């Protein structure tokens, strides 16, 4: 199986000719804008892909710090109950090895 065949199975997309793209550009541009990837071929060979632009990444630091206490409350609504601390576990491990 060729790489092109595997790629088309994993990432299906509409295939159109260069002539179709020229004649019906608005239609295919709207499809791409809606999230569809469209492979344009020229002389039977892949030529270009119409696809939506990549999503803008938020600027570094614009999201702020995660709310870790809220995250832990979601998973441990009653707080941490029992069990040794990390320091105690490390001390015990050290004792067991030496």
Q: Residue 86 pLDDT more than 90?
A: no
Indicate the pTM of the whole model: 0.50
For the chain, domains (ranges, CATH) are 3-50 (3.40.1620), 68-97 (no CATH)
User: What is the rounded (10 degree) CA torsion for 81, 87, 88, 94?
Assistant: 150
What does the alpha-carbon distance between residue 53 and residue 33 come to, in Å, rounded to a whole number? 8
Q: Which two tokens stand for residue 82?
A: 């029992």
What does the alpha-carbon distance between residue 5 and residue 9 come to, in Å, rounded to a whole number? 6
Alpha helices (runs of H) in the chain, residue ranges in sequence order: 3-10, 18-23, 25-33, 68-75, 86-97
- Please write the tens of the pLDDT for every residue from 3-61: 666 666 777 789 999 999 999 999 999 999 998 999 999 998 999 999 988 887 766 65
């Amino acid at each position: 199986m060729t790489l092109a065949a595997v790629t088309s199975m994993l990432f299906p997309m509409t295939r159109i000719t260069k002539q179709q793209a020229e004649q019906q550009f608005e239609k295919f541009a709207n499809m791409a804008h809606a999230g569809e990837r469209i492979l344009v071929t020229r002389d039977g060979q892949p030529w270009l892909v119409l696809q939506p632009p990549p999503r803008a990444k938020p600027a570094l630091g614009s999201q702020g710090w995660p709310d870790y206490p809220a995250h832990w409350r979601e998973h441990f609504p009653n707080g941490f109950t029992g069990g040794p601390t990390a320091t105690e576990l490390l001390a015990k491990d050290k004792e067991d090895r030496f």
